[in-house]
Structure 1
Amino acid sequence: TRLARILHGETAPFASSTEGYLLGTFVYLETAIFYLLGPKALYVEMLNAVMGGMLVTLAFDTARRLSGDLRAGVIGGTLVAVYPSLVLWSALNLKDSVLLLLIAIVLWLLVVFQMKPRLWLVPVTFIALLPADSLRTYIFVGLSLVIPATVVLTPRLGARDKTLMTALAVGLSILLLTTQSNPTGLRSFSDLDAERNAMGVGANTNFGDQPFHIRVFYVLLAPFPWSPRRILDLLPVPEMLLWYAALAGAFIVAVRGSVSWRLLAPLALFIAGSMAVFVLAEGNVGTLYRHRATVVPFVLVLASPLFAAALNWHAPKQSVAADAARLANQRGDV
């Protein structure tokens, strides 16, 4: 609200030397809303809810496109819509809701590109990524690398088109990475160690000083439902059980080959890269829990074909046969 007041010509305290790091996509968006509509947090909360709805829509369509199954799309969208921490980020005044939407847009565009490669989709995808630069640097850098990798792995591309599109994607990736406004400042792995240890200082759930394999265990499974320290620790238990099922489901979908591994590349690379960053840089469970929410929707989407298949397996045989006959009629086979 202070920036909006300054833009209106009013006097408001703002120290650029100490508060300048706060400026970014979400703050600019908030400022624009407060400038146009007035300093009411309700407007921002409504915007967060709208962005949450858009995230659900993109999750539905991404799951549907990847699997070719409408039921997988419905399951993926529904799980993203009801996942507790995602609802929380959409309801609160946090930059996470903006970041989640940007990630979903980029990954959806990559899935669309893989199914129907078009040259213009390459720059459009990078344009969608640009606002993430001031939100989470590791997400921005990671997706800047995922985009050209996806282009390289896209099936059904002729040699000439693949060369042209790959060159464009690599060139734009290099341009974004060399001109980003929020460089990490990391010069070596020792800087990551320092960052991780700093995040664990004073935290009740510090794991930054643990061996690598223990940190992997924390990143994948914490907070642990089987070791609550207080009553409040029981609140995320249902969510964590769903997370475990989604992790297992996503892994099975990726390795069993029910969906082309090339089509899974955008989501799989993003998820694996983000989790690797968490292992290297996260130092306490609280911060990890919030940051891991950036990959949760896409793990749910990746697992949705398996969940759909499981529901279909439990369906009555008569219903399955009726669905098959109806599909055959629609295709004109009978």
Structure 2
Amino acid sequence: MKRAVLVLIIALIFSAVITAPDGFAIFLVLGCFTLPFATLIINLSEADSKEKELLWSLFLYALAVRAIFGAVAYALRFWDYLAPDAYTYTEFGAILADHFRGTITITKTGSPFFYSRFFEFSGSGWGMYYIVASLYFFIGKNTVAGNFFVASIATGAVPVVYLLAKEIYKNRRVALIASLLVGFMPGFINWSSFIMKDGIIIFLLALSILMVVRLQKQFNLLYLTLLFISVVGIISLRFYIFPMLAIGIIASFLIGVKETDTTISTFRRVAVLLILGTALTYAGVLGRIASDLERYGTLEMLNNSRLDQVKSAASGIDVGGDVSTVEGVVTVLPLGFLYLILAPLPWQVTSLRSALTQPEMLLWWFMIPFVIKGIAYSIRHRLRETLAILIFTLMLTVGYSIFQGNIGTAYRQRTQMQVFYFVFFAVGWVLTKEKKENEMAIRRLRQIKLRAGLAEKNI
């Protein structure tokens, strides 16, 4: 852990110097937010101090990589090329912070555009403005600090995925491999190093599933609170994910993690669902979700969105079909699924960004058979524990396969499923390695017995 601390300090000093003077604000973010946040997440571990040291090391190393990557990209002025939405979030977040400070006033009649963005709490991504504004309110507009602030939250996915994998599979190797992939896969580094919502969504998804698994075993107010915060955060960043996540959570709670449940455990799970549902209803979240789905979730609207993605970018992909009809959905699904899982393919490289993904894609394609093996094992042996993950990833994969019309967006949004696919990969990889290790051990044992038998004959 000491080495990880040293690496982070060096990374932050380097990042601050090359982005000075704005860069020195990252130390303020580190002390006031990053370290308390990481302490909360890592203390979710129920193991000994040795495991917590490992989690700290994973978090600090992953954060150091993101700090350097974000700072270098900013210093060389290509951060908005790698993360095009980041500029919008930093500008809008600064405007919202100015409103809260009283520097400007945003009203429905005077500033209808910004009012609808900030205060109607509708559509996708409005929560990101508040996340950025919560920082800029105190320190003013500072993109370098904003990048590090978001990176700190997103890096929380690394220890959370470790805890989730270990909670389900009781295997340290599986947990470590999954967390390393989340921490150091290039795509995950890119989307979590800037003021983008993707890294935060990944963290919230992993945290919500971890809390679901924990709450099925015991009622805990902290776990319930973190689940509520995770769900609200997901809704505020990408509202259409929530129904898929909700179905997975409800199914998981209804079935439970044990085949022989007691009345008390069943009552506890139902109580958690009722409390969570009541809290979301009271907060007005479910009503807004229903309104957004009615407004944006029709097949016709989704088809128009897909066609717009196809036409508006060089990386648009047209898989044919009209997904405003059920027949069109069925037609588009197979090819859309292949693009979602495999793209960008070599012949689809149309820019520097897509070219930079190719080494990572080679690794991802290699991983897919092990992902399938891990899923198969989970269905056979860990179905109850992984039901929420399986339902969510299946539904989101199908949804994106149908309505995705852009290779770049597919590559980016695939991370929301990959965070769980990495867990399944780790399972498949460890199963394969352990099988080979067992075969080698049996072979050695046979050789030892054979030698012993020959020695007896010679005697």
TM-score (normalised: structure 1): 0.83
CA distance in 2, matches of 1:182, 1:56: 34
CA drift of 1:42 comes to 1.9
Q: Given that residues 106 and 115 in structure 2 are in contact (C-alpha distance below 8 angstroms), is that contact kept between their aligned partners in structure 1?
A: no
Q: Is the 8 A contact 2:306 2:404 kept in 1?
A: yes
1:194 aligns with 2:304: yes
Partner of 1:3: 96
Q: Given the alignment of the two structures, is residue 265 of structure 1 paired with residue 360 of structure 2, yes or no?
A: no
- Looking at structure 2, the residues matched to 293 and 41 of structure 1 have their Cα atoms a distance apart, in angstroms, of 24
Task: State how far apart, in whole Å, the 2-side matches of 1:53 and 1:231 are.
Answer: 26
Aligned to 1:137: 239
1:224 to 320, 323, 345: 345
Residue 31 (structure 1) shift: 1.0
Q: CA deviation at 1:67?
A: 1.5
Task: Tell me the SS of whatever aligns to 1:209.
Answer: coil
- Per-residue CA deviation, residues 148-183 of structure 1 (Å, 9 max, x unaligned), is 111012133324542563365267448343343871
Q: Provide the residue aligned with 2:336 in structure 1.
A: 215
SS of residue paired to 2:103: coil
Given the superposition, is the C-alpha separation of residues 187 and 285 from structure 1 closer, same or farther in structure 2, using an over 3 Å criterion? Answer: closer
2: distance between equivalents of 1:232 and 1:94?
16
Partner deviation per Cα, 1:11-45 (whole Å, 9 max, x = no partner):
48897422345433221121121111222112211
Q: Which residue of 2 aligns with 1:286?
A: 408
Name 2:286's counterpart in structure 1.
Answer: 177
Question: 1:206, 1:283 within 8 Å by CA — same for their partners in 2?
Answer: yes
Structure 1 residue aligned with 2:270: 166
Q: Which amino acid aligns with 1:118?
A: F
Select the structure with the greater relative contact order (CA < 8 A; seq sep ≥ 6). Answer: 1
Measure how far apart 1:52 and its partner are: 3.0
Which residue of 1 is the match for residue 8 of structure 2? none
What is the DSSP-based 3-state SS (H/G/I as helix, E as strand, rest coil) of the residue aligned with 1:57? Answer: helix
Report the Cα distance in structure 1 between the residues aligned to 2:249 and 2:422, rounded to whole angstroms: 21
Counterpart-to-counterpart distance in 2, 1:21 and 1:290? 26
Does residue 118 (structure 1) correspond to residue 240 (structure 2)? The answer is no
When residues 7 and 32 of structure 1 are mapped into structure 2, their CA distance, relative to the original with a 3 A threshold, is same
Quick check: which has more Rg, 1 or 2?
2
Cα distance in 1 between the residues matched to 2:160 and 2:367: 18
More off after superposition, 59-68 vs 195-204: 195-204
Residues 1-334 of structure 1 aligned to structure 2 (within 5 Å): 1-11=94-104, 16-23=111-118, 24-114=126-216, 116-118=217-219, 120=221, 121=223, 124-156=226-258, 157-159=261-263, 161-162=265-266, 165-166=269-270, 168-169=272-273, 172-173=276-277, 175=281, 176-180=285-289, 183-184=292-293, 185-186=295-296, 188-204=298-314, 205-207=316-318, 209-210=320-321, 211-212=331-332, 213-225=334-346, 228-229=349-350, 233-257=354-378, 259-313=381-435
- Per the alignment, do residues 236 and 289 of structure 1 end up closer, same or farther by CA in structure 2, a change over 3 Å counting? same
Distance 1:16 1:282, change over 3 A: farther
Range with greater deviation from structure 2 (228-237 or 103-112): 228-237
Distance, in Å, in 2 between the alignment partners of 1:230 and 1:94 is: 21
Tell me, in whole angstroms, the C-alpha distance in 2 between the residues paired with 1:245 and 1:162. Answer: 41
1:253-288 deviation digits (Å, cap 9, x = unpaired): 222356411111121112111112102321111222
Task: Quote how far apart the aligned CAs of 1:194 are.
Answer: 2.2
1:224-278 Cα deviation digits (max 9, x unpaired): 1365456654321222233334443232222235641111112111211111210
**Over aligned residue pairs, what C-alpha RMSD do you find?**
2.9
Note closer, same or farther for the CA distance 1:226–1:68 as it changes in structure 2 (3 Å cut): farther
Q: Kindly indicate which of the two structures has a greater share of residues assigned to helix.
A: 2
Say if 2:354 and 2:408, in contact at 8 Å, map to a contact too: no
Which stretch shifts more, 185-194 or 127-136? 185-194
Quick check: 1:81–1:87 contact (8 Å CA) kept in 2?
yes
Q: Partners of 1:251 and 1:177 in 2: how far apart?
A: 34
CA distance in 1, matches of 2:265, 2:167: 23
Rate the CA distance shift 1:226–1:208 in 2: closer, same or farther, 3 A: closer
Task: Report the equivalent of 2:69.
Answer: none
Distance 2:436 2:347 in 1: 29
Per-residue CA distance 1:51-91 (angstroms, 9 max, x = gap)? 23211111111112222111111111111111111101111
Residue identity opposite 1:45 in structure 2: N
Once residues 430 and 255 of structure 2 are traced to their aligned partners in structure 1, the CA distance between those partners, rounded to angstroms, is 26
| Residue 331 of structure 1: aligned partner | none
Corresponding position of 2:45: none
Paired letter, 2:292: P
Q: 1 CA distance for matches of 2:251 and 2:265?
A: 15
Structure 1 residue identity aligned to 2:318: F
Aligned-partner SS, 2:188: helix
**Whole-Å separation in 2 of the counterparts to 1:2 and 1:187:** 29
| Amino acid paired to 1:180 | I
